[in-house]
Amino acid sequence: MRYGKGGELAFTPRCAGVQKPPNKGRPALQEPETDARVPKALAHHHRVTGLDVRVDRVGDGRPLVFLNGLLGLNEHWFGCLRYLVGPEVKGGIECLFIEPPLLELRGPGCSVDGVTNLTVNLLEMLVDEPAVLVGNSLGGHVSLKIAMARPDLVSGLVLLGSSGLFERSFEKDVPRNPTREWMEKKIAGLFDDPSRMIPGMVDMAHEALSRRTAVRSIVRLGKSAKRDHLGDQLHRVQTPVLLAWGKQDTVTPPEVAEQFSQLLPDARLCWIDRCGHAPQIERPEELCKHMRAFVRELSQNAHNEQAGVA
C-alpha cells in the first residue's frame, strides 16, 4: 500500500509488479494450490512517517488484526490461517497482519507509544469497523494501549504472552554483535519445544540484529515496554479480552496471565499446554480453537444487543 500523489492511499498488491519489501531468507507466502483451505495472502506497502509497513490480508468477514512482538514477522502467524479462513471454517473472518519495521524506528517513535500511534494510524485506514486485535508480546501491549486510547477501533482483544505487567525481556544482555549461537539460545527459550521453531527463524533474527542500529532499537523498545507498566490502567479496558497463554511460557510466566485476568474487567483465560511464548507458532490449532470461540461469543453478544435495542 502506498500514498498517491494527492496524499490519498493506493493499494497495490505485490503480484501486480510492485517492488517487494526486503524478504531475504523469509518463507514464501502460502498458495491456494498447496492447501485449498488457505487463500492466497497478498502483501502491500504502506508509507507511514517515512517507513514501509508490510500488511498481509486474507479472508472476508469480521476483521482480526494481528500484531507482532519485537522480532515477529507476519509469516509467524500464517500457520493459523488454515484454522481461521477458508471453505471448511464456519463464520467469516478477515485476517490482517501488520508488520512495522520495529528495528528501524528512531527517536520518540522507538517506544511503545510510538508503535501504538503508528498502529492506530494504520487501523484508521485499513479497517472500516471495530476489529479484534490479536497481539503477541509487544503486540499485546500495543493492543491494550489502543483499546484504552481508541476503544472505537476495537471490538475485542486476544493477548498472547503480552507485555505490560511483567516480561523477561528479550533485549536483556544483548551483545553489540550478537552471534548466531546467542540468537539460537534466545529464540529457543521462547518455545516449550524448540523443534517447533520455523525453519530459518534463527538466521532471520540473527540477520535482523546484524546492524548496531537494530540492536539499539530492540534495547530501546524493550526498556520502553518495561517502563510502561499498565497495572493501574487496565480497569479502563472495557472491551472483552481473551488471554490465550502458553502454560510453559517463561518470558511472561503463567502468573502474569493470572494477574491480567484479575485486573481486566472482562477477561477470560485459556491455557495452552506444552506451549511457550509463541502459541501462534507452537500450537496454532489449539490457539485458533480458542480464538474462533471468542469471535463467536463477540458475534452473539452483538446480536443480542441489537435484538435488545429492537
pLDDT digits (tens, 9 = 90+) for 167-185: 987 666 788 888 999 999 9
Confidence of residue 50 (pLDDT cuts 50, 70, 90): confident
The rounded distance, in Å, linking the Cα atoms of 296 and 176 is: 47
Give the pLDDT confidence of 186-210 residue by residue, as tens digits: 999 999 999 999 999 999 999 999 9
SS3 content of the chain, % helix, strand, coil (to 5): 40, 20, 40
Query: Helices 112-126 & 212-227, crossing angle to 10 degrees?
Result: 90
Mean predicted lDDT score pLDDT of the chain? 85
Residue 278 host element (H or E): none
306 is written with which cell numbers?
A: 441489537
The identity of residue 208, as a single letter, is A
pLDDT score for 170: 67
Diameter over CA atoms, the chain: 63
For residues 41-56, give the mean pLDDT.
Answer: 69
In this prediction the pTM is 0.86
CB 171 within 8 A of CB 70: yes
CB 297 within 8 A of CB 305: no
Spell out the residues 6+ positions from residue 192 whose beta carbon is closer than 8 angstroms to its own. Answer: 246, 248, 274, 275, 276, 282
Give the pLDDT confidence of 209-253 residue by residue, as tens digits: 998 899 999 999 999 999 999 999 999 999 999 999 999 999 999
For residues 254-271, give the mean pLDDT.
Answer: 98
pLDDT score for 40: 47
289 has pLDDT over 60 = yes
Point out the least confidently predicted range of 27-41, 84-98, 195-209: 27-41
Closest by CA position to 58, among listed 84, 89, 90: 84
Query: pLDDT higher for 302 or 160?
Result: 160
For residues 53-80, give the mean pLDDT.
Answer: 94
Q: Which CATH number fits domain 32-301: 3.40.50.300, 3.40.50.1100, 3.40.47.10, 3.40.50.1820?
A: 3.40.50.1820
Spell out the residues 6+ positions from residue 290 whose beta carbon is closer than 8 angstroms to its own. Answer: 242, 244, 270, 272
CB 208 within 8 A of CB 234: no
Taking the CB of residue 2, how many other CB atoms lie within 10 A of it?
13
Inter-CA distances, 51 with 44, 103, 196, Å: 13, 11, 32
Q: How do the domains of the chain map onto residue ranges?
A: 32-301
Percent of the chain exceeding pLDDT 70 equals: 82
Query: pLDDT higher for 299 or 67?
Result: 67
Give the pLDDT confidence of 107-134 residue by residue, as tens digits: 999 999 999 999 999 999 999 999 999 9
Confidence of residue 48 (pLDDT cuts 50, 70, 90): low
Residue with cell 482483544: 157
Percent of the chain exceeding pLDDT 90 equals: 70
The identity of residue 175, as a single letter, is P
44 has pLDDT over 90 = no
